[in-house]
Chains A and B, each alone.
Chain A
Amino acid sequence: MKPAYIMAAVILAVTAAVTLFTFAGAVAQHSSITQAMAHPGATLQVPGKIIKDSVQYDATKGELRFDVIEVSRGADKKEIVGDKRMTIIYRQPKPENFDTAVGVEAVGKFENGVFKADNLLVKCPSKYNDQPKQAPAVRGK
């Protein structure tokens, strides 16, 4: 066995271990608002319907704050609006298509009564068909 191949095997093995360990520790699970509020501190991806009146942008803090209401899809793929309401804080400029968006998928953690989002996926109803689709939005770091 040549030293090059032994070293290569070591690199691959260590990379595999580091990758699995790191990746498994940096996961955001798809969840619901109820679940997020019940498990503060867990990193989750939470869908919600934006409550338009609640949207505020604080220009001095550079912080977007809005409330979402729980939505889920029933067996017939129809949207079911729940009654759980949660405040989301996003410390980035307001996504461009936020105003036209109906729903949002927020990735982050529920902490101290608010959901701190690192990333927002803004969902716009498609122009072309009735299924909601993703539209280009901003990305957090």
Chain B
Amino acid sequence: MDIGKIGVLAGLICSISAVVLYALSLRGNRKVLLAARSALALVAMSAVFTFARLMWIVYHQQFQYKYVYEYSDTTLKLPWNIAASWAGQEGSFVLWAFWTAIIGGLVAWKAGKWESRVMPIYVSVLCFLFGILVWLSPFNVIHRGAGPNDYPLDLMWPIPNGKGLNPSLQNYWMAIHPPTIFFGFASLAVPFCYAIASLIWREYETWAPRVMPYVLMTTATLGVGLFMGGYWAYETQGWHGFWAWDPVENASLFPWLGGLGLLHGLVVQKSRGGMARTNLFLAILAWILFLYGTFLTRSGVMSDFSVHAFVSLESQPLKLLMVMIAVYGLGGIGLLAWRWRKVPGRPISDKVLSRDTAMVLAVTLMIAACFVVLLGTSWPILAQWIPWMRHVPGMPYDLEKKGAVLLPVAYNKVCSFLLIPALVLMGAVPFLAWGKTNVDKFLWKVIVPWLSAIGVGAFIVWFTLIQAQKPFEISTPRTLVVAIGTLGVFAALANIGLAIKLLRVKTVTMGGWLAHVGIGILFLGTVITNVYEQTSSFNLFEGAPPVKTPFGYSIQYVGWTHDETQRLAEKATDPEEAARLQDKQRREWWDFGHAVLVRVTPIDGGANVANADSGDSEAGKADPRSFIAALPVFKTQQLAMNDGNTGPTTMRWPYIHKEILRDFYVLVASDPKLMRVNATLVPGETKPIRGTEYLVNYKKFYMDGTPGSEGTTMGADMDLITPEGKRIPIRPGIRVGDMSPVNQLIPEANGAVILDRSDGKPAVDIATKQVTAEFELPNAPAFWGMPIAVTNKPGINLVWLGVLLMGAGTLCAMVRRSAEVRKGALILNAASAGLTDGPSPVVPVASTNGASKDPPGPTRHKQAKKARSAASTK
């Protein structure tokens, strides 16, 4: 048995022991508590060991392990030869278990009197995860034998190489994004466990401040993690966007929205004592939604609707995951329903213009958004059962069972609708006081950011009108765009004022406001970049003059990264050396760094344009501001199949030229092609063959045979005129039946001719008799044709700036709230020693019915309130 498997088993056994010991420690026996802590330490060590062992076998490329064989190969370098550890299902569960164990240590350390109540629930998550890993083990060794699915005994052992990692995953984000997002997911368990503990122990007050730093940590890491994934897609996928409402993205989004709602609800509970039930509900919801999202993306139910590659789980671990959802979901919601009426609800302000109302509405909007995304993501599954959900206009309403998908535009519409009130609230809340707000003062304060935002809004309107002159598509209605942009600015300005004020007084309290500034900027950037982006397509040809794009740059093909090797190979006198260099050149095609080089030159009107248009190499030399863009184009066997019917895939990654106000996004849009020299002409014309000194004369159109009968060809009667002036008659043609061209050799010129076009368009136009003839001739080498798509992305950097501010603000708030817990905890403990906190033989769950009459005593309330006010004045 592999020692990694031993680590998993040890983790399972120790986590079960830890759950039992922590539960027993509730009786207050110190020794049992110490034993429980030791068990927890062993769980953490097992998790770390399992993860380390996985990284070890991946790093040392032990290809006899199936997991390593599937996701790694010898070409992988740092950090991907480690990051491949979480490339597959098994590895991502190990990562999840690892973070859960690490965070568990933190929770136990910081939980104080809550430790024995929270930890049994928390460690049960680890029991499930290790249980899943027992079945879903990354430490399985490939079986050798004579069976059809076995690795043949006569082949090399250990296996010398693996299948390798998908090139899209060989990106630096692979080392950063999955660990970040899984940290966020794992930490979602903390508020859930606190909520359950508070329901079991009917301790509805003190859990809120304790759980707040964790919720901030979760929302910061998940939020930033989501956008890391977006940036990753933006950099490699070539569709110049960062969010596509794909089920895999959504599955991370709705737990995050639930967490955000919880965060804001907790602020209300902490400051005003309200929203206690909502918070318990949201803490349970966020965790269940995350588990549900995991189920959706891992079970294969979404495989017809998602672009992400996920091999579906085997049935055993999948069943365990479903048990997990059932246990936590039914248990949590059931417990909440049972206790619902007993949770003390404290009144919040009944004034409309108060922070209380604003926060309730904000939480409502977040819950609404969460359910919108949840419904949309689940739509394809629901539509299989509910006929109206799959009905589309223009189709008969039939009851036959089939699926349906939701178009991404639907999410954009509903989310824009929710964003408008959300941004208004975000802009107003800095000027709203808890309880009651002085209306006049509020209006005076709000007017500055409001007017400034209107100014920016007017600018966006103007920009829209300018842009509307040009043909481009707008997917979102313009008024909505202007409204969201304007309100984004309003929210950012309103919050930045307060953030700056607090920066001088008490830096740490500015976190929340700073995060709101980020959100405002983020949405301003999102609407600008989505609505005003434009794409143009071009064909670049080797040797052709620069092509002007509409976005301020001209682009010109200049070569390949392998050209230097090619040149050396051609120069080499030693045939062996030449062969070696040729071989090197061929191998360079398989490197990630293999790229098409495109010269990008700014156009600023006037002389420069003329210069750029005049062609040849001087244009490039003339402009010192021009630069070379390397667009990765390389071959990979990774996406190919082993059934032999397809060869390598050509990967094409974008080149992104970053400027402050926009990105200039260049992509090789389809496979570069070697084109033959050609001429396009109508009967009677004489034209030079492009790129050569030959001429061609098109005498007349011909048709051999009768249309409809077998073997009929049509084509052009031509003369090829050599540089020496010799005329060679040629008759290139195509078969009438399937329009396939016939290759004709020209022995006199040592060449060939064909009626074909490399760009795929028809080579013969029967109406005008225009033909395109392609030639292979001495001293007329084929040249590269490069389909290019360029996209202008204005305002994209606002998105990333917004995300950074949001993350930084949330982390800042986390520091503040943790400090409050440290200070507040002491006061609470002093104030309520033995009264509320601490593992005491309080009523166990079973006897709650009788004990439920026991109200949360007024003294307890007062104590907590006193403690809270003491904490907040500190």
Contact = CB atoms under 8 A, between A and B. Distances in A.
Interface of A: 2-5, 7-8, 11-12, 15, 18-19, 22-31, 35, 39-45, 56-64, 92-94, 96-97, 99-100, 105, 107, 118-119, 121, 124-129, 133-141
B406 A23 contact: yes
A91 to B, nearest CB: 9
Nearest to A124: B639
Interface string B408-440: 111001100110010000000000000000000
Contacts of A62: 535-537, 669, 787, 789
B538 A105 contact: no
B368 A59 contact: no
Contacts of B418: 15
Contacts of B652: 93, 96
Report the 7 A-B pairs with minimum CB-CB distance, sorted nearest first: A62-B537, A59-B787, A56-B760, A42-B394, A26-B410, A57-B670, A93-B669
A16 to B, nearest CB: 8
A126 B638 CA distance: 11
B168 A136 contact: yes
The residue in A5, A15, A28 that gathers the most chain B C-beta atoms within 10 A of its C-beta is A15
Given A39-B395, A100-B641, A126-B641, 7 more contacts: A4-B349, A12-B367, A24-B391, A28-B392, A56-B761, A134-B310, A138-B307
A93 B410 contact: no
Contact of A141 (B241, B376, B649, B670): B241
Given A3-B350, A93-B670, A28 B407 contact: yes
14 contacts: A27-B389, A40-B394, A43-B394, A43-B407, A44-B392, A57-B669, A57-B671, A60-B537, A93-B238, A99-B671, A135-B309, A137-B307, A139-B241, A139-B246
Interface string B110-127: 000000000000000000
B311 interface: yes
B643 A125 contact: yes
Contact of B393 (A3, A42, A59): A42
Contact of A3 (B352, B408, B475): B352
B414 A23 contact: yes
Interface residues of B, number: 88
Contacts of B406: 23, 26-28
Contact of B303 (A40, A45, A134): A134
A97 B639 contact: yes
A99 B646 contact: yes
Contacts of B348: 2, 4
Interface in B13-43: none
B70 interface: yes
B300 to A, nearest CB: 9
Nearest to B409: A26
Contacts of B239: 92-93, 138-141
B361 A11 contact: yes
B802 interface: no
Interface in B285-315: 303-311
A36 to B, nearest CB: 10
B404 interface: yes
Given A3-B357, A30-B403, A43-B407, A100 B392 contact: no
A60 B538 contact: yes
A8 B372 CA distance: 16
Contact of B539 (A29, A60, A97): A60
Given A26-B407, A27-B405, A100-B640, A59 B309 contact: no
A127 B761 contact: no
Contacts of A31: 395, 402
B788 interface: yes
A19 B642 CA distance: 45
A29 B395 contact: yes
A96 B70 CA distance: 21
Q: Which of B405, B406, B646: most chain A CB closer than 10 A?
A: B405
A46 to B, nearest CB: 12
A46 B711 CA distance: 37
A127 to B, nearest CB: 6
A129 B306 CA distance: 19
B356 interface: yes
A39 B394 CA distance: 6
A126 B643 contact: no
Nearest to A101: B646
Contacts of B538: 59-60
B533 to A, nearest CB: 9
Interface string B139-172: 0000000000000000000000001001010000
B759 A139 contact: no
Contacts of A29: 390-392, 395, 402-404
